[in-house]
Amino acid sequence: MAASLAVILLLGLVAKKIFEKLKLPGLLGMLILGVLIGPYGFNLLHEDMLKISLDLRSIALIIILLRAGFGLNKNDLKNVGIPALKLSCIPGLLEGCFIAFASVKYLGFTFVQGGILGFIIAAVSPAVVVPSMIKLMENNIGTKKGIPTLILAGASLDDVFAITVFSAFLGLYCGSNMNIGIQLLIIPISIILGIMAGIIIGFVLIIILKKYHIQDTNKLLLILGVSILLNQLETLLKTKLQIATLIGVMTIGFVLIEKLPDVGKRLSNKFNKVWIFAEILLFVLVGAQVDMNVALNAGGIGILILIIGLMGRSLGVIISLIGTDYNWKERFFCLIAYIPKATVQAAMGAVPLSLGVESGDEILAIAVLSIVITAPLGAIGINSLAEKLLTEEK
C-alpha cells in the first residue's frame, strides 16, 4: 500500500503541474490520472488503498471545508444568507425532478427509481467547488459582492438536501414507511444541528487554546482530529438522527477565525500546506472510482438525461438569484460554478445497485457519466471564466 501512496503522490504532482501549464485546472489532471491508474485502468493501486479510499477522501474533504471555514467572513455571510439558502435547495430540487421525469420518459423508470437517480446526480461537488471558491477569495476575485462565499455556502448545503431526498426515495423503493415531506422537514433540523455542533466544538477549542500553550502544528492536528470525529458522529452514535456534519466542520473554522483571528490566520496557512497533500489524494482517488466502460454504457440517453438535469439546475440558479444585485455576468458565473459533480456521485452511485434496486446498473452508469462530463466542464468553466465574469477587487 505504501508503494500505491507513492505512485499517487508522485504522479499526482506531475499531472497537476502538466495541466496547470496547459492553463487547465490541476484537479482535472489528477482525476484523469486516477482513472488511468485505478482498478478500471492499469490497476496500479493496491486493493488495500482502494478499501480505505472512502476514508481518505472524507479526511481530504474535511481539510478543504476547514480551510473554507477559516476563509469565511461574517459580513459576507450576512449579505448572501438568503440567496445562499435558495441556492442550497432550489437548483438541486429542480435538477432532481427534471431527471426523475426524464428517466420515466426515456428509460422507462418508475418515478421512485427516477427520484433515486435524480437526487444522486443533483448533488454538486464540494470537492471541486470549494477549492475553486477559496482560490477566488485569496485572489480577491468576486469578493466585493461576496460571490465566492455565496457559492461556497450554497454548494455545501446543497449536498445535505440532495442526499436527504435521495435517502427518502430509496426508502420508498425499499418499502419503508418513509414520508418525503417529513424527510424534507428534517433537512433544516439537520443543518441547524450541524451548525450548533460546530459552534459548541469551536468554543470548546477556543477555551483549550487559550488555557494551554500548544504549537500551531499540534493545534492543526487537534482541530483536524476533532473534525474527523464530528464527521463520524452519526456512525459513532449509531442513531438515525441526521446531522449535517460537513457544515459543522466548516463552522468550526469560522468560529475560530472570528474569535481568535491571529491564531485562525496562522492555522489557515497551515491547512493550505496540508491541502497540497490532501488534494492529490482526494482527486486521484475520486478518479480511481470511475469506470469508463460503465460511463460509456450510459450512451446517448445518459447524456440527454444529464443535459435535461443541468437545464433544471440552471433554471434553479436563475430563480435563486432573482431580486439580488448581481449582474448577468455574475449570475452566469454562479450557473457555471454549480455544474461540477464528483464526490457524492462517486460515493453513492453504486448504492442502489448494491441494494438490489431494479436498473441499478443504469443508475450507476449515469452517475459515473455525470462525473466524467460535469467535473471537467465545471472546473474548466470556473477556471477560465472567473476573471472575465467577476470583478477583481484591488
Query: What average pLDDT does the segment 52-71 reach?
Result: 87
The answer to whether the beta carbons of residues 65 and 73 sit under 8 Å apart is: no
pLDDT bucket at 237, cuts 50 / 70 / 90: low
Show me where the domains of the chain are located.
26-288+299-340+373-389
What is the average pLDDT score of the chain?
A: 87
Number of H helices, E strands in the chain: 18, 0
pLDDT tens, position by position, 101-121: 999 999 999 999 999 999 999
Q: CB neighbours of 155 closer than 8 A, spacing ≥ 6?
A: 87, 88, 124, 125, 126, 129, 130, 133, 337, 338
Question: To which residue does cell 436498473 refer?
Answer: 359
Grid cell 467577476 — which residue?
A: 390
Distance of CA 97 to the CA centre of its chain: 20
Q: pLDDT band for position 176 (50/70/90)? A: low
Report yes or no: 267 and 255 within 8 Å, Cβ to Cβ.
no
Determine which helix (DSSP H) or strand (DSSP E) holds 340, and give its type and residue range: none
SS3 262: helix
Helix (H/G/I), strand (E/B), else coil: 327: coil
Packed helices 53-71 and 216-231: angle between N→C axes, nearest 10 degrees = 120
> Does the pLDDT value for residue 2 go beyond 80?
yes
Q: At what angle do helices 74-106 and 147-173 cross, to 10 degrees?
A: 40
Fold classification of 26-288+299-340+373-389 (topology level) = Na+/H+ antiporter like fold (1.20.1530)
What pTM was computed for the model? 0.84
Dmax over CA atoms of the chain, in Å, equals 63
List the grid coordinates of 256: 475560530
Res. 201: pLDDT tops 90? yes
CB-count burial class (<10 Å; 0-12, 13-18, 19+) for 25:
buried
- Ramachandran quadrant class, 5 (left: phi over 0; alpha: psi -120 to 50; beta: rest): alpha
Over the stretch 267-312, which tens digit does the pLDDT of each residue have?
988 998 898 899 899 889 888 877 888 777 777 899 999 999 999 9
Name the residue with higher pLDDT: 365 or 175. Answer: 365
